[in-house]
Amino acid sequence: MMRGANFIEGVETKQNRVWMVLLITAGAVLGLIALLLGSGASVADFVALCARIPLWTYGAIAFTQATIVVLAALRWRVLLKAVSPRGQTLTLQHATAATTLAAIAGQILPIQLCTPVIRAWFALRFDIPVMRSLGTSALEQTFQLLVLISAAVLSFLFLVPTVGWVFDAVVPILVLGAMVIFVRFAIQVVSKLLASIADQGTSLLARTATRLRLGFEKAAQLPDRILTSVTALSLLGYTVLAALNVLLLNAISGVDILPLLIAYPLVLFLMSLPFFPGGLGVVEVTWAGVLTREGLPFDQAVEAALALRVISTLGFFLIAPLLLAGLQPAKRGVP
């Protein structure tokens, strides 16, 4: 009886969490509508702003979104093979389909939470254990966090006065190159920092630091070639994602690229929070604040931030059917 009661209680808890997430999503959507109307922005101007983007641009956006998804699928495949006793993994087509399905779910649910679950459900059809799929997806997020920290350091360096454009161009290359080469050392440093935070008590921050530290410790156990390849793929994925958002927002708003590039690590951090689907709402407010600081009127800044969300999402859904081609897999593992 106790087991049955605990099971029912667990199911009810999960259902309550899903409803809470859906309510947060609905609140974020209503908040965006309130932001659009309260800022004095015009719905007609917003629609005109989206329509002003040339059709060929949507093709470029779709291709870029596909690249981002494929890079994420590649990272997962590499990690699956690395932790499997027999080197079992998925084909790139199947890994891409699972990652795309997770990205679609991430439009209404926090992607950090739904990605491991959807991937595990899909990989189970290939006899890949659920815990292995969940663990590798969580491990992949560890590398993404490491890259985000590196990007934040670069953003800080951009704010420091330098001797010229050559220095500005060389330093990021050196930092990113060092990140790939010395990734194990970087993981150990971050793990120690998280351990010191985790020792501070039982607060939410301490518990979060404990979970993150476990992920970094598992990452440190991987072979050097796996660490290097996954880090390089993570850096490449971040670069493509940053380029897509920054260049698109530059085309929409006319604001210089550099301040957008500096602000992007903060935006990506907000997108990564496991409370909002893709940072819905908080990302738009952040971008609107950045654009306003750069001299754009607030109503136009809000329109541009919302247009970025709509245009990039449309580009993703244009290519999604092609990426989902592997959703009907044969039940077999791929070495």
Q: How far does the chain reach from its first CA to its final CA, in angstroms?
A: 43
Considering the chain, what percentage of its residues have pLDDT values greater than 90? 23
For residues 95 and 309, give the distance between their C-alpha atoms in angstroms, rounded to a whole number: 25
Tokens coding 64: 């870029």
Could you read off the pLDDT of 213-258 as tens digits, one per residue?
Answer: 766 777 777 788 888 888 889 989 999 999 999 999 999 988 999 8
Sign of the four-CA dihedral 76, 82, 85, 91:
positive
Predicted local distance difference test score (pLDDT) of residue 35 = 62
* Average pLDDT of span 164-192: 69
pLDDT band at 21 (very low <50, low <70, confident <90, very high): low
Q: For residues 254 and 151, which has the higher predicted lDDT (pLDDT)?
A: 254
Locus of tokens 């006793």: 85
Predicted local distance difference test score (pLDDT) of residue 24 = 62
- pTM listed for this prediction: 0.80
Predicted local distance difference test score (pLDDT) of residue 99 = 95
Predicted local distance difference test score (pLDDT) of residue 46 = 76
Could you read off the pLDDT of 41-67 as tens digits, one per residue?
Answer: 677 777 888 888 888 899 999 999 999
Work out the angle between the directed axes of helices 257-272 and 282-293 (0-180°, nearest 10): 160
Considering the chain, what percentage of its residues have pLDDT values greater than 70? 73
- DSSP-derived letter for residue 89 is B
Could you read off the pLDDT of 267-316 as tens digits, one per residue?
Answer: 888 887 777 777 777 888 889 889 999 999 988 888 898 899 999 999 99
